[in-house]
Amino acid sequence: MNFMSSNSPLSIFATLLTITLFVADKPAFSQTAMETLVIDDGTELAAKKWVVAEATATSDSKHIKTAKTALHFHINVDWKDGEKNYPIGWPRLNIRVPPDMQNWSNFDYLLFSIFVESSRTNLPATPLGFSLYLSGKKQGFNRPFTELQIGKWTDYKIPLREIVNTNACTGMQFHISESNYRDGDILDFWIDSIVLTRYLEPVITEAKLTEQTITADARFVEVEAMAFGIEKTKHAVAEFILTLNDKPVLTETLPLIQGRNIYQVPLSKMKRIPGNYNIKITHNGKTTVAGCIRMIGSPYQEDKQ
């Protein structure tokens, strides 16, 4: 069953390819031009495109985040039913992506949110799994959704640039392993608005320190940052600023690279004294805080044990 055929109403897939000014909570997102591609908008039409096994998939308005309805994945855990060889099986939702929609390599993120209800009072360690089917035999991306909690929305933002072979994403799956549950458990997942997004101009979406503590002999501080919207031919730079007691002690300019990358900020130009340093990145007038790092004395300074 195809996710979308040319005469299907789901050609809305194409019409929903939009350029938007996406305003989000994080400063880095504000007023940044983005392009989105909707994969599932939560409608009944979209729900019918999922191939279901040992579960049901419908459009439902009980829990919604962005639209009027969301994809509702309902499971009655049954250890005696299911496939003959695997009565304790894997209830699942699958969707196939049509060939002309399979190239996700130019998108930055896959976004959706999930809400959970259950007859249980708590969820097992791996409540739900997610897979992408990618080009190449047995190639795939798997992600356990360990963060889910009953009665809460959890937002997922999967960085596509870090997944290989997204140039041919042939399908997607949500699944549970019944062995993680008790026989008779009831589970309901609402999956809200599955979309692909990409940035159209340089932006730093996330930044964090790879370390929380360093010694004073460290040659550099490492910042892991996600930058998007950077064309290969363009040259975008950002300032990495270290402050101690709110006073700047180092500013280094480094070129930005598309995707998630490690930026080593050399410390040779500053006096390295123990303390707590704040590190931020400024680019195009926007500031992204990377975090605070503690510097302690070096093991290689004889007098400062």
Partner 1 sequence: MPDRNHSFHLPLKQLTIGKWIDFKIPLNELTNRAHCTEIGFHLSESEYKDGDVVDFWISQIVLTRSNGKTSPLVLDDASAVSAKKWSPAEASCTADSTHVKSGKTSLRLHVDINWKTGELKYPIGWPRMSRSMPDGCTVRDKSYTEYDDGKPPPVWTCPLSQDAVVSDQPSEFSARVKPGKYNAWVLCGLSNSRGSQFYDFDIVSGSEKQRIQFENSFQYRHVFLKVDASDGKAKINFTPHSLFAICGVVLWQDIDTGIVQKEIIAPIRQITDFLPPDELKKWTLDQPLDTHPWPKIPTKDNDNGYLIFQKHWAECVYPNTIPHNGELDPEIQTFASLGEYEPLTFTIHPFRSFPSVTVKISDLKCGKNVISASTIDIRRVRYLNARPNYTTLHVYRVVPDVLMPYEPSPLVSDENTTFWLTVHVPDNAKPGFYKGAVTVSPDGTAPATIPVTFRVLPIRLKEDPDKIFGIYYHDPLDSWQRAVDEPSKAYYLQKSEWELQDMVAHGTRNVTTGLWGPPEKPDKPGVFDINFDLMEKKIAAWRRYNFKPPIVVGINAEGIYAKRSGKDHPGSHLKGISKPPPEYGQELTRMCRFIEAERIKRGWPEFLYYPVDEPSVQPDAIAFMVDTLKAVQAAGVKTYVTADPSNEGFAPLKPYVDVWCTQPYLPSREIILADKAARKVDYWCYPNHVNGENDHTPVNGARMTYGFGFWRSGFTTLIPWIYRADVGNPWNYLDGSAMDFFNRTEDDGRPIPVAMWEAYREGYDDYRYVYTLQTLITKAKTGNAKIRQLADDAEADLKYIWNQIRVQPKYKYDDLWAPREADVYRWMVASHILKLQDSETHRPKSRSFFRRWFSR
Residues that bind partner 1 (CB under 8 A): 79, 87-88, 124-125, 136-139, 164, 179-182, 210-215, 217-220, 222, 255, 257-259, 261-262, 264, 266, 296-297, 299-300, 302-303, 305
When the beta carbons of 43 and 102 are compared against partner 1, the nearer one is: 102
DSSP 257: -
Instruction: Tell me the two tokens of residue 125.
Output: 């360690």
Residue with smaller CB distance to partner 1, 42 or 89: 89
Nearest CB to partner 1, comparing residues 12 and 249:
249
Q: Which two tokens stand for residue 142?
A: 């798997």
Minimal distance in Å, beta carbon 264 to partner 1? 4
- Hey, what are 2's tokens? 């195809």
Write the single-letter amino acid at 208. Answer: K
Quote the CA–CA distance of 299 and 305 in Å, as a whole number: 7
Answer for the pair 1, 49: CB distance below 8 angstroms, yes or no: yes
Q: Give 29 or 220: the residue with its C-beta nearer to partner 1.
A: 220
- Shortest CB 197 distance to partner 1, Å: 20
Rounded-to-integer distance, Cα 22 and Cα 33, Å: 7
Q: How far is the CB of 217 from partner 1 (least distance, A)?
A: 7
Q: Identify whether the C-beta of residue 114 lies closer than 8 Å to the C-beta of residue 21.
A: no
CB of 76 to partner 1, least distance (A): 17
Interatomic CA distance for residues 261 and 216, integer angstroms: 24
Among residues 25 and 303, whose Cβ is nearest to partner 1?
Answer: 303
One-letter identity of residue 29: F
Q: How far is the CB of 45 from partner 1 (least distance, A)?
A: 36
Instruction: Considering the complex, state which of residue 33 and residue 150 has its C-beta at the smaller distance from partner 1.
Output: 150
Q: Which residues of 206-238 are buried (b: 16+ CB within 10 A; e: fewer)?
A: ebebeeeebebebeebbbebbbbbbeeeeebeb
